[in-house]
Amino acid sequence: MIHRPAAGRKLEDRLLKVISACAALLGILALAWILLVVIEKGATAINWDFFFHRTLPTGEAAGGVGNAIVGSALLVGLAIVIGVPLGMMAGVYLAEFGRDTQFGTAVRFSANVMMGIPSIIVGLFVYALLVKPMHMYSGWAGAVALAILMLPIIARTTEDMLQLVPNALRESALALGAPRWKVTFQVVFRAARVGLLTGLLLAVARVSGETAPLLFTCLNSPYWPTSLNGPVANLPVTIWDHAMSPYDDLVRIAWGASLLITVGVLVLNISSRLILRRSAHE
């Protein structure tokens, strides 16, 4: 065994700690800078009209993003309805039935790959799958694109949370004569409910600010959403449209919408961490 002087090892350890601390500080400063700029520029747009008026035609002074807020809520809500059940079923299979099978390994690998796929690729895929054959952009296509982005996050989170449940709990329920499916959904799910809720919040935070998939699928609209069978107003594309405008009022509204999404994502992330911390102390 090669003997290394203690002084050299201590110096290397301190050097790595300093480098790690500097890298972490750099990331925190960058995040703080972004937040400060968004708050400074976005706060000027926050008023009653901003929340309760729809986007008005270019050049008009008044207007808001009320229609985009409603449209984004509809798209994300429909994406939850589509993606969460599928993702949870995939996670249940990986954790309970296909943990050591070749098919389960393939599904797990595919989910990991999907988590790293750029969102614009998903938007292009849904465009070719739904928009082009139907010859129209629609809110349905946008919700499907967001659901695909949510699917691997929900699947992997569900698998991880279910695997944290002790096997003794499963064995006790099975010993009482309960069927496997009932043990999974009434015992294991109940024990892992906090972690599953956290995964849902993280998935919603992941897709709530996506712009590229919506550009390929549902575009945008200046009207209040009354149907998903056509373009639907949404916050990310509204920000993209207004930020490119030469009019200061529209740029200001874009900053306000950016602040709204940023606060929403922060609230979801902080909520998920608080829920996990609370469950760890229970």
pLDDT higher than 90, residue 76: yes
Helix (H) or strand (E) holding 37: helix 6-42
DSSP letter, residue 53? S
Place of tokens 């393939």: 106
pLDDT of residue 59 exceeding 60, the answer is no
Domain ranges of the chain: 66-281
Confidence (pLDDT) at 3: 64
Q: Can you give the pTM of this predicted structure?
A: 0.86
CA of residue 67 relative to chain centroid, distance: 21
The string of pLDDT tens digits covering residues 215-250 is 999 989 888 998 899 999 999 999 998 888 888 888
- Tell me which of 3.40.50.720, 3.40.640.10, 1.10.40.50, 1.10.3720.10 is the CATH number of domain 66-281: 1.10.3720.10
Q: Report the pLDDT value the prediction gives residue 172, as an integer from 0 to 100.
A: 87
Of 87, 13, 55, 104, the closest CA to residue 223 belongs to: 55
84-111 pLDDT, tens digit per residue, is 999 999 999 998 888 888 898 898 999 9
Mean pLDDT taken over the chain: 87
Confidence of residue 57 (pLDDT cuts 50, 70, 90): low
Do the beta carbons of residue 218 and residue 142 sit within 8 Å? yes
**Separation of alpha carbons 282 and 280, rounded Å:** 6
